[in-house]
Amino acid sequence: MVALTLLLCIPFFNSCKDDVDRVELPPEPTPTSSVKPTVYTSNIDNTVKPGNDFFMYAIGSWWKKAEITEFDEGIVSFIKDDAQSAFNEKTDNIDSETVKIMASHAEDPFTNAEENIEFIQQAEKRVNSAQTKEELWKLMGELAAEGFQMPFKLISLAKNGKMGAVFIFDDDLNISSSISKDDSDEEGEDDDDERWETILRNPSLTRALQPIQRGVGTRGFNTEEWPMLVSICEGMGINPADAYIIADDFEEIAKEEFETESSDDFKQLQELETEELAELILTYIDDNLALCSQEYFEAAEAEAEGTLVMSDFMEFITERYLKYDLSHSFADQYCTAQMKQDGEQMVRELKNAFKKRLEQNTWLSEGSKANVIEKLNAMAVNVAYPEWMDEGLVDLSGSESLLEDIFIARKTYNEIIKALTGMSVDKGSFHALIACFFDLTTFNAMYAPIYNSINIFPCWVMDPIFSGKMDNSIKYASATVFAHEITHGFDNEGANWDKYGDINSIWASEADKAEFERRIQLLVEQYNQFEVMPGVFANGEKTLPENIADLGGVEIALDAYTQKMKNDGATDNDIKQGQVDFFVAYANLWRAKYDASYISKNLNDPEKTHSLEKERVNGIVSNTDEWYELFDVKAGDKLYRSPEQRAYIW
Ligand SMILES: [Zn+2]
């Protein structure tokens, strides 16, 4: 059952050819503006007054035809069905040399068995000849650098504008742990991805990093607290001053008000006696034997009482170590330099438009304004793909077996983290993001407060979302997403972070902060009043950062588009036309039809922080002055807000 409050569009009259003379035709729906949209005209429903429901006005004809099937999870939409599936088709067909070689080795994994076993045994010997804990710690670093999995993983995060190597406790044995009794592990991986997204986007969680990072320089894991990590760094060739430790459970730490400074797991690891430590390291080394020979392989399977599904295992390795390499293949194949340049050009225009708005801003003190502009100027712009670094690219050309492939993949992963360590954030953040968290084959765009970077993934600079072939109004409507990400740097969460991605508020005075709070509170109240199903209202608090970003996104992109038209010598009428088209295109970017199940899921899931599609449109346009004039929206129209009621934030 579709229980939406979306307008049912009742035709004004039923015309009947035979009786046409006798029917008194009511007037055409009042033209809402002298300017008629020229884009997405077939999606427009002229029976809906834009001021009553702009979403349905702009997409209503499409909406009537759209059908939600049982496979749609309650929603059909442009982003999900058109854009994402077009993109997925590309990701399904990535031509990666690395993956191809690994796949061919996986077919006959036990080649070079003797050499490989010998290689593993050499490592065992090194462990057995180590005398002290210190030696073993250093050896752990060396082995990790050589491509052995150890009970930790490195990722690359920022501190004070520089990239650092961050230790995460990780007790996963690559190969044995991939042998499973059933294949229901997939959900766990998704969770992992979501967890990272949460960490990157949610300051209250990333805040957990802060005490840990602070501890590095001052209380020093260098000398007293973390001799183990210092030795590991030494073994890996990383400067301990650029390395941090992170607890393995961010969320708990965040809840503990940042009191926890270290991971208990690391503490336990450090406290192991020499013999126990050697034993543990050997377990990690021996894990690799499973891929050396049929005999070891069968033994490992028997012990785990499961089977190793090679394709799942490959996916695991790819997911874990090959994000950067895979991103490279993907970009190489699908994302042209032109796409990247167009996207970057757009971001430049948007940043300029934002700066202009800031110059005209009347509610910020000079001090806060300067902070905002400084942060905006420093914001790293990561569009489409980075300038590739050799350290992250996997070369399997000399490899003769799957085991060797895996060692090269692990080694390469650590090499890029190492290469990034100490690099400035604006240079390194994109590499880090795609090596550690999200490869470029994910359909994504995000602001990362910990890097102060906006990240526009390839999907957003490609057809059917953004391309040179499009009418500019559509292109700039898509660019609202870029501007949305920029605005996240200045939403109620992003405002707590400075230009380096450290926790320092952008507010120079309490008064500025209070005024900001007052303005965003308006948005909260507005969204709380949107009835998304009969008797069910949107959650203005939960969706606040996204709504701030949506509003900034539209205003900044509209400014940029208007400026572009002016620069191109457009007449006033052309500009008006362009703006009308922009708003229609914006609504069509979020065109969607969804049912009650989708609405409930969205409202009840705390992770779903975006407003529903309809409110992403109606909630935003009704705060945008230009829209009132362009679509002749007047008091009495359902979406009408008087100027005092509109939220003016950025
Ligand atoms: Zn957002």
The pLDDT score that the predictor gives to residue 29 is 53
Low-confidence ranges of the chain (pLDDT < 50): 1-21, 185, 187-188, 205, 207-208, 210-222, 248-261
The pLDDT score that the predictor gives to residue 369 is 96
- How many Å lie between the centroid of ligand 1 and the Cα of residue 383? 16
- How many Å lie between the centroid of ligand 1 and the Cα of residue 446? 7
- How many Å lie between the centroid of ligand 1 and the Cα of residue 351? 17
Task: Please report where in the chains the tokens 């948005």 appear, as a residue.
Answer: 523
Question: Residue 113 carries which side chain, given as an amino acid letter?
Answer: A
The pLDDT score that the predictor gives to residue 190 is 54
Alpha carbons 599 and 611: distance in angstroms, whole number:
10
- How many Å lie between the centroid of ligand 1 and the Cα of residue 490? 11
- How many Å lie between the centroid of ligand 1 and the Cα of residue 482? 10
Per DSSP, 438 falls in state: -
Residue 360 contacts residue 473 (beta carbons within 8 Å): no
The pLDDT score that the predictor gives to residue 2 is 34
Question: Residue 18 carries which side chain, given as an amino acid letter?
Answer: D
Residue 78 contacts residue 59 (beta carbons within 8 Å): no
Size (the chain), residues:
650
- How many Å lie between the centroid of ligand 1 and the Cα of residue 337? 26
The pLDDT score that the predictor gives to residue 257 is 38
The pLDDT score that the predictor gives to residue 263 is 63
- How many Å lie between the centroid of ligand 1 and the Cα of residue 546? 5
Beta sheet of 162-169, edge-to-edge order = 152-159, 162-169, 243-246
Calculate the dihedral angle through the C-alpha atoms of 114, 115, 116, 118, rounding to the nearest 10 degrees.
90
Q: Token digits for 122? A: 């050499």
Alpha carbons 364 and 443: distance in angstroms, whole number:
35
Per DSSP, 595 falls in state: -
- How many Å lie between the centroid of ligand 1 and the Cα of residue 487? 9
Per DSSP, 401 falls in state: S
- How many Å lie between the centroid of ligand 1 and the Cα of residue 610? 7
The pLDDT score that the predictor gives to residue 572 is 96
The pLDDT score that the predictor gives to residue 28 is 54
Within the chain, all domains assigned CATH 3.40.390.10 are found at 1-85+471-495+508-650
Alpha carbons 429 and 446: distance in angstroms, whole number:
13
In angstroms, how far is CA 160 from the centroid of its own chain? 22
Q: Token digits for 292? A: 């050396």
Q: Token digits for 368? A: 């806060």
- How many Å lie between the centroid of ligand 1 and the Cα of residue 115? 51
- How many Å lie between the centroid of ligand 1 and the Cα of residue 557? 15
Alpha carbons 339 and 333: distance in angstroms, whole number:
12
* CATH number given to 1-85+471-495+508-650: 3.40.390.10
Instruction: Say if residue 464 is preceded by a cis peptide, omega within 30 of 0.
Output: yes
Q: What is the mean pLDDT of the chain?
A: 87
Task: Please report where in the chains the tokens 């059909």 appear, as a residue.
Answer: 76
- How many Å lie between the centroid of ligand 1 and the Cα of residue 553? 10
- How many Å lie between the centroid of ligand 1 and the Cα of residue 483? 10
pTM of the model: 0.87
- How many Å lie between the centroid of ligand 1 and the Cα of residue 488? 7
Taking only the tens place, the pLDDT of each residue in 595-611 is 999 999 999 998 899 99
- How many Å lie between the centroid of ligand 1 and the Cα of residue 484? 6
